[in-house]
C-alpha cells in the first residue's frame, strides 16, 4: 500500500543549477511578446470566461456551494488514508483490482505488466492529466504499443508532438487554421477550415481504434469512497468508448481525488463543469464501479484502478500547504491568471501549468528544480477568488517561496543582493554617509542581479535623505 507518512524532500544548502528557471525566463520573455499567441489565447479564454459568467448565474448561492465543497475536500484530505481504504474495499468487492503506486515508475511498471499479460498492441486513452504526469504515452511507445489519444484536443496535440497546453483544453493555443494545417501535415487530408469536417475526420479515424484496442485507459475526476466508484466527466463520449470496448479498463487516478459519498457528486459535478467551461453539467458523466457484472451486457472483463501518489504525500505531510490537494482540476485559475495568459501553458515545462501547477509541481517533481514556478505569480489573488473549492492559492505560493529559501534553493546572486540590502537596513549610517549617486549605483547593481531592472525604469534615490529634510525643517 502507498506510504501516507511524511515524505519530505531532504533539506540541503546546495541548490541545483537553475537551468529550468533560466529556460523558463527565456521562454516567458519570448512568449509574452508573441502577439499572435496572445491574440489566440485572449480569444479562446475570453469565450470560456464569458460562458463561466453565464453558468454562475444558474447558482442561487455559489459561495455556499464553494464553502461546502472546500469543507468536504478538506475533511477527506485530513483523513485520506481512511477514505482510500474504504474505496479499495468497496471497489474490490465488485471484482475490481486496486494497485497502489508510490511513484510514476511504479505506476508504469504495473501498466506494463497488464499490457504484457494482455499481449496488448493498441491502447485507446481518454483525456487524463495523471497519465501525462507519468509520461505514459512515451513509456508505451518504447514498448512498441500504440497509444491513441481519443479526446479531440489531446488527439490534435499528440499529432503535433506537443504536450497539453491547458488542464481542461489541451489545444487552447491553436486556432482553427492551425488545426487544419496539422491535419493536412500528419493525416494527409485535403485542406479545409470547416470545423465540422475536421471533427468528422478525427471521429472516423478513431472509430476503428476503439474496437481494435485490447486496453482502454482513463483517468478519474472523482473516487467515491462509500461506493467504490470511479467517476469520469467528459463532453465527447470518447472516455465511455475507451472504457467500454476494450476487454481491460485501467483508471489511473491521483490519491487526492476522493470524495466521501455518491450523493456528493451533485455538488462537485456542477462546480467542476461551471468553473471550467461554464456548463451547468458536462455532457457525459459516468460512474464505474468495477468490471462487467454477470447480468450486464457491456463493459470490460477486468478493471484496474491505479492509485497514484507520485509526490502527493509530500504535500499531505505539510498542514499549511496540503489544502492544494483539494484541487478538482477545473482550470479556472489558469483562465483568470494574468501570468498564464501572457506566457502560455507550455512555458511552465510541467504537467500542471498555471497557478495550481506552480503550487503543486515543486512538491510533485522537486523543489530544487521547480521552485521558480512559485515566483511566476503577481500574487493578485484572482486564482483564489475563482477556485471552486476555495484553495488559498496565492498564500500557498508564498509559503512555497518561504520553503525554497529555508531549504537553500535560492540563487547566489539573489542571496548576495538580499544580504547587502539587509546589511544596509540594519546599518543606516552607511546609507546616510553615501551620496545619492553611490546609492543609485548600488541599487542598480542589486536590482539588476535579481532581474528587477530588466523592464522597469531604474530606481532613483532622492537627493536628500529624510533625516536631512527633517533637520532642515527643524
pLDDT attached to residue 433: 78
Contact 388, 276 (CB under 8 A): no
**Strand 97-101 relative to strand 302-308, pairing:** parallel
pLDDT attached to residue 434: 79
Q: What angle do CA 393, 398, 399 make, to 5 degrees?
A: 95
What is the average pLDDT score of the chain?
91
pLDDT attached to residue 18: 52
Report CA torsion sign: 334, 195, 219, 274: positive
Residue 160 banded pLDDT, cuts 50, 70, 90: very high
pLDDT attached to residue 422: 85
The full DSSP string for 428-440 is HHHHHHS-HHHHH
Report CA torsion sign: 296, 113, 253, 277: negative
- How far is Cα 301 from Cα 280, in angstroms, rounded to an integer? 33
- Cβ neighbours of 268 (radius 10 Å): 24
CATH superfamily of 19-27+313-406: Alpha-helical ferredoxin (1.10.1060.10)
With a cut of 50, say whether residue 6 has pLDDT above it.
Answer: no
pLDDT attached to residue 429: 80
Per the structure block, which three cell numbers stand in for 52? 463561466
Contacts of 343 (CB under 8 A, 6+ apart): 27, 28, 31, 32, 376
401-420 confidence digits (pLDDT tens) = 999 999 998 878 778 878 87
pLDDT attached to residue 421: 77
Mean pLDDT within 45-51: 92
112-158 confidence digits (pLDDT tens) = 999 999 999 999 999 999 999 999 999 999 999 999 999 999 999 99
371-390 confidence digits (pLDDT tens) = 999 999 999 999 999 999 99
User: 282 in helix, strand or coil?
Assistant: coil
Q: What angle do CA 410, 11, 319 make, to 5 degrees?
A: 100
CA of residue 368 relative to chain centroid, distance: 19
Mean pLDDT within 336-349: 95
pLDDT attached to residue 4: 43
Q: What angle do CA 279, 281, 283 make, to 5 degrees?
A: 95
55-69 confidence digits (pLDDT tens) = 999 999 999 999 999
Q: Whose grid coordinates read 549610517?
A: 429
Would you kindly state where each structural domain of the chain is located, as residue ranges?
19-27+313-406, 58-310, 412-473
pLDDT attached to residue 348: 96
Contact 200, 208 (CB under 8 A): no
With a cut of 70, say whether residue 17 has pLDDT above it.
Answer: no
pLDDT attached to residue 464: 83
- How far is Cα 271 from Cα 280, in angstroms, rounded to an integer? 8
With a cut of 90, say whether residue 467 has pLDDT above it.
Answer: no
pLDDT attached to residue 398: 97
pLDDT attached to residue 297: 87
166-199 confidence digits (pLDDT tens) = 999 999 999 999 999 999 999 999 999 899 999 9
What Rg, from alpha-carbon coordinates, does the chain have?
Answer: 25
* Residue of 448, 437, 442, 386 whose CA lies nearest to 413: 448
With a cut of 80, say whether residue 473 has pLDDT above it.
Answer: yes
- How far is Cα 388 from Cα 422, in angstroms, rounded to an integer? 40
Angle between helices 176-187 and 195-212 (to 10 degrees): 50
Per the structure block, which three cell numbers stand in for 330? 477545473
Q: How many CA atoms lie within 13 A of 424 on its CB side?
A: 14
Residue 450 banded pLDDT, cuts 50, 70, 90: low
- Element (H or E) spanning 182, and its range? helix 176-187
Q: What is the pTM (predicted TM-score) of this model? A: 0.89
CATH number of the domain at 58-310, out of 3.30.465.10, 3.40.50.10420, 3.40.718.10, 1.10.10.10? 3.40.50.10420
- How far is Cα 164 from Cα 173, in angstroms, rounded to an integer? 9
pLDDT attached to residue 416: 80
With a cut of 90, say whether residue 306 has pLDDT above it.
Answer: yes
- How far is Cα 99 from Cα 158, in angstroms, rounded to an integer? 27
Amino acid at each position: 500500500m502507498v506510504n501516507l507518512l511524511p515524505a519530505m524532500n531532504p533539506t540541503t544548502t546546495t541548490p541545483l543549477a537553475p537551468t529550468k528557471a533560466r529556460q523558463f525566463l527565456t521562454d516567458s520573455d519570448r512568449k509574452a511578446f508573441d502577439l499572435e499567441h496572445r491574440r489566440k489565447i485572449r480569444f479562446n479564454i475570453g469565450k470560456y470566461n464569458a460562458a463561466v459568467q453565464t453558468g454562475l448565474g444558474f447558482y442561487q448561492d455559489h459561495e455556499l456551494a464553494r464553502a461546502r465543497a472546500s469543507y468536504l475536500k478538506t475533511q477527506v484530505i485530513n483523513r485520506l488514508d481512511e477514505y482510500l481504504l474504504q474505496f479499495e474495499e468497496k471497489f474490490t468487492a465488485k471484482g475490481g483490482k486496486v494497485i497502489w503506486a508510490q511513484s510514476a515508475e511504479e505506476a508504469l511498471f504495473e501498466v506494463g505488466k497488464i499490457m504484457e499479460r494482455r499481449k496488448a498492441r493498441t491502447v485507446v486513452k481518454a483525456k487524463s492529466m495523471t497519465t501525462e504526469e507519468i509520461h505514459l504515452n512515451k513509456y508505451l511507445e518504447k514498448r512498441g504499443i500504440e497509444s491513441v489519444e481519443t479526446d479531440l484536443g489531446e488527439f490534435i496535440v499528440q499529432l503535433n508532438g506537443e504536450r497539453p497546453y491547458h488542464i481542461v483544453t489541451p489545444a487552447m493555443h491553436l486556432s482553427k487554421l492551425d488545426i487544419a494545417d496539422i491535419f493536412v501535415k500528419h493525416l494527409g487530408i485535403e485542406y479545409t477550415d470547416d470545423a465540422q469536417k475536421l471533427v468528422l475526420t478525427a471521429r472516423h479515424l478513431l472509430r476503428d481504434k476503439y474496437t481494435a484496442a485490447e486496453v482502454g485507459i482513463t483517468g478519474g475526476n472523482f473516487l467515491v469512497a462509500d461506493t467504490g466508484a470511479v467517476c469520469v466527466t467528459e463532453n465527447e463520449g470518447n472516455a465511455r468508448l475507451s472504457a467500454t470496448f476494450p476487454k481491460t479498463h485501467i483508471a489511473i487516478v491521483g490519491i487526492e481525488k476522493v470524495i466521501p459519498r455518491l450523493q456528493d457528486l451533485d455538488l462537485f459535478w456542477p462546480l467542476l463543469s461551471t468553473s471550467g467551461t461554464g456548463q451547468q453539467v458536462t455532457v457525459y458523466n459516468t460512474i464505474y464501479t468495477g468490471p462487467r457484472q454477470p447480468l450486464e451486457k457491456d463493459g470490460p472483463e477486468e478493471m484496474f484502478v491505479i492509485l497514484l501518489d507520485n509526490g502527493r504525500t509530500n504535500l499531505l505531510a505539510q498542514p499549511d500547504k496540503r489544502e492544494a490537494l483539494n484541487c478538482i482540476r477545473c482550470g479556472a485559475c489558469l483562465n483568470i491568471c494574468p501570468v498564464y495568459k501572457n506566457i502560455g501553458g507550455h512555458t511552465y515545462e510541467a504537467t500542471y501549468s498555471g497557478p495550481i501547477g506552480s503550487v503543486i509541481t515543486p512538491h510533485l517533481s522537486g523543489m530544487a528544480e521547480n521552485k521558480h514556478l512559485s515566483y511566476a505569480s503577481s500574487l493578485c489573488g484572482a486564482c483564489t477568488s475563482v477556485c471552486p473549492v476555495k484553495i488559498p492559492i496565492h498564500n500557498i505560493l508564498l509559503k512555497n517561496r518561504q520553503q525554497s529559501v529555508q531549504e537553500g534553493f535560492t540563487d547566489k546572486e539573489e542571496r548576495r543582493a538580499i544580504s547587502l540590502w539587509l546589511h544596509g537596513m540594519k546599518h543606516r549610517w552607511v546609507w546616510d554617509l553615501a551620496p545619492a549617486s553611490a546609492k543609485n549605483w548600488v541599487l542598480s547593481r542589486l536590482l539588476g542581479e535579481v532581474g528587477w531592472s530588466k523592464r522597469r525604469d531604474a530606481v532613483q534615490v532622492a537627493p536628500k535623505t529624510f533625516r536631512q529634510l527633517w533637520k532642515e525643517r527643524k
